[in-house]
Amino acid sequence: MPRIPRIVPWTSHKEFQAVCQWLYDTDHPNQRELGVKRVRAWSSRGRVPHAVDCTASFVEALLRDRLAARPRLSQHELRSMYSMTFVRFVNGIVDPAQQGAFAQSVAGIAERMNLPLWFVELRHASTHEQLPSLQALRSGCEQALQWLYDNYWALSLRNGIEDSDDLQKAVSERSGGMQPPFTHPLAFIRSRLKKSWLTPSTRFRSQGKASRPNLRQAGPRPGISSPQGTRRCRLS
């Protein structure tokens, strides 16, 4: 059955592909900034998929975190920027899955959708506790970008699927074992990803696990219990 046409803010699939390349071009900050600006232009035309908007927001936070960024943000401003992006990122993934008469736990939905549980911990800390540390937020930002690439961009560029609903479907199928992890055919983007993203310690696997940074810092800091109840991770 043919797919129902959808209105999208980009002019062509080629433009969509170019913006993905810009956003993930870690060697050229100017290209990444161009990608962020293009996504913001799309937002003025119509609805932008949640995955696209969050990718641009994470990249924008990383760009503002550079030493050369002007005006230079304080650590508190950077932590606030990262934290707000994480709250919107996790909520936008989990909230559409809240179905039924009774509310489900965020951690439970995230686990079913192959979303690393410490992303949920970052969201919880950003919302209810002290803001997470820059170390945790920077690491989480990079791993969130990789997760978005694997679960949205790669599928969209391979199959021409560019709708936010397909992000939910793809994640559900992958977490349920209905299809193996896919490999993006465009070598350009893979070559642009940071090498650290492609190592076993930080690269996501089909189980949705992500590495946690060493977050131990001097002084008494509140921790957040893992949803699994066996480990604690200091986030502030």
Overall average pLDDT of the 17-38 stretch:
95
Q: For residue 231, is pLDDT > 50?
A: no
Q: Residue 235 falls within a domain, yes or no?
A: no
- Tens of pLDDT, residue by residue over 66-118, are 877 777 888 999 999 999 999 999 888 887 666 666 666 777 777 777 788 88
Q: For residue 201, is pLDDT > 80?
A: no
Q: For residue 44, is pLDDT > 70?
A: yes
The domain of 30 spans 13-97+104-213
Q: pTM for the complete prediction?
A: 0.70
Q: For residue 143, is pLDDT > 90?
A: yes
Q: Residue 82 falls within a domain, yes or no?
A: yes
Q: List the one residue out of 231, 205, 186 whose CA is nearest residue 146.
A: 205
Overall average pLDDT of the 31-51 stretch:
94
At residue 50, the pLDDT reads 92
Q: Residue 223 falls within a domain, yes or no?
A: no
Q: Residue 225 falls within a domain, yes or no?
A: no
Residue that the structure tokens 């983007």 belong to: 189
Specify burial of residue 231 (Cβ count, 10 A radius: 0-12, 13-18, 19+): exposed
**Under a CB-based contact definition with an 8 Å cutoff, are residues 228 and 117 in contact?**
yes
Q: Residue 118 falls within a domain, yes or no?
A: yes
How many domains would you assign to the chain?
1
Q: Residue 167 falls within a domain, yes or no?
A: yes
Q: Residue 196 falls within a domain, yes or no?
A: yes
Q: Residue 5 falls within a domain, yes or no?
A: no
